Structure 1
């Protein structure tokens, strides 16, 4: 896996937000996610997102996370955790 992310976070507030999202997005959660670009996507999160150290486009090192989402009729999507602006729980798989 490439260790390069489109954005990395180093400040405490941003890292805390990533950690809160990681804890809230449980494995087997069915959710609707509002993304940074304004799009909305729904699906099942098969496993809790993983926070990792990545390098940003400028070579800076920081944190971000990867979120797998199974979308009906579309397959599996991989999203950057910091792209999730908000989410709502629909249920569990």
Structure 2
């Protein structure tokens, strides 16, 4: 996961929280977090990168709409990242 951009990590995390979300649902969630518009030209190439890296699977809902889900490898990478972060970020007392 070290080779992902922050946006790609956020996209992976948001996908992990949903049940087979489509691209526009992910876009809406990220726009709420970033408080700005996410263009399709940014969203879909980054989704494709996560698919190419084996972190997401892409399926077809219909002829125009794809869904995404985190692979087992993606879940392992998320867990490893969280363990790494926990070394440096302790919970507030």
Question: What TM-score range do you get, normalising by the shorter chain?
Answer: under 0.3
Q: Provide the TM-score with structure 2 as the length reference.
A: 0.27
As a proportion of its length, which structure holds more strand?
Answer: 1
Q: Which has the greater radius of gyration?
A: 2
As a proportion of its length, which structure holds more helix?
Answer: 2
Q: Provide the TM-score with structure 1 as the length reference.
A: 0.27
